[in-house]
A = this chain, B = another copy of it.
Amino acid sequence: GSARFGLAYDESQTEETRIEQRMRVNITGIAETDAGVKLEARFRLEANEDSHANDISGRGPGAAGFAVSYGGLRVDVGNVSNVLDSGDQVDYYGYGVGFTSFLEHNANFNGPATGFGAGSQDATTIKARYNVGDFSASLSYKETRAQAAVANAPGVLGSTAVAADEEWQLGLGYTLANGMAIGAVYSDTDSSGDYWVIGLNGTAGAVGYSVIVGDGDNQADASFGASINYEVSSATSIRAVVSDGGAANADTSYGLGFRHGLGGGVTLAGGVGSKNDNTLADLGVSFSF
């Protein structure tokens, strides 16, 4: 599990500062057959602030995700990441700024990334990844079946139906001799068309870097994102993020942050940034257990 708490600032809110608080516990079951096939199942319990109003609540267990892995092949089924979210080939999120990663280098992207969480899902995803040497390929299929309209939760007028939808994603990745990884993801969704992202990331001494470029039928302009992490010392690093493009007339998003390890799995981190012309900042601790 993991937990984090601290302060978060959001210029767009009436009361700009809130207490940020989150606790997550993944419950994972693992089994392995005599032939060495590994099976996993997991779901998540989580507590979070609901909004900037400091109201807090728990949720979960969410829908479960399953995995089967054997040698270089891994198949995920259920409430699981699709190729873009998985990071199998493209590092879509990069080095986030702040202890809540409030700004990531995909800020100006509108890519169809869906992943595991503590909630329910209206769709089931199947993803297969195959690694062979320095090469990897992933394929995911996400199917949403039509469901009749159901009245909304209290306080929300009207009713919501689920429309049928299908999404295919293909990812290809290659790691160069110097450790630099390059990859591409292509996504085709019935409801929102094509999307592609190309990424490149690696490390050079104390510097880690990640760059992505992408575009799709659901955004006006191509998007660009880059983030770097510089290890000032063994415990402290500085991060910078920039993301641009996407919607017509989109503002450049950018931010700067730091992380400092306190030992025992505890990290103090914070950052400031601008996301679509809105100033954000945070400072807090996170820890794993």
Show the binding face of A for B, using Cβ within 8 Å: 1-3, 5, 15, 19, 21-23, 25, 27, 29-35, 37, 39, 41-43, 45-47, 49-64, 66, 68, 77-79, 118-124, 126, 143-147, 149-155, 159, 162, 262-266, 285, 287-289
User: Is chain A's binding surface mostly helix, strand, loop or mixed?
Assistant: strand
C-alpha spacing A64/B46, complex, angstroms? 8
C-alpha spacing A104/B77, complex, angstroms? 27
With CB as the reference atom, state the residue of chain B lying closest to A25.
B27
Instruction: Check A35–B154 contact: CB distance below 8 A.
Output: no
Hey, which chain B residues are within 8 Å of A2, CB to CB?
29
Instruction: Check A45–B43 contact: CB distance below 8 A.
Output: yes
Instruction: Check B35–A23 contact: CB distance below 8 A.
Output: no
Hey, which chain B residues are within 8 Å of A266, CB to CB?
31-33, 37, 39
Hey, which chain B residues are within 8 Å of A57, CB to CB?
62-63, 119-121
With CB as the reference atom, state the residue of chain B lying closest to A42.
B23
Among B15, B58, B121, B151, the residue within 8 A (CB) of A120 is: B58
A selection of 15 A-B contacts at a CB cut-off of 8 Å is A3-B41, A5-B66, A19-B124, A27-B45, A35-B263, A41-B287, A43-B58, A47-B79, A53-B145, A53-B146, A53-B162, A56-B63, A56-B78, A151-B154, A154-B159
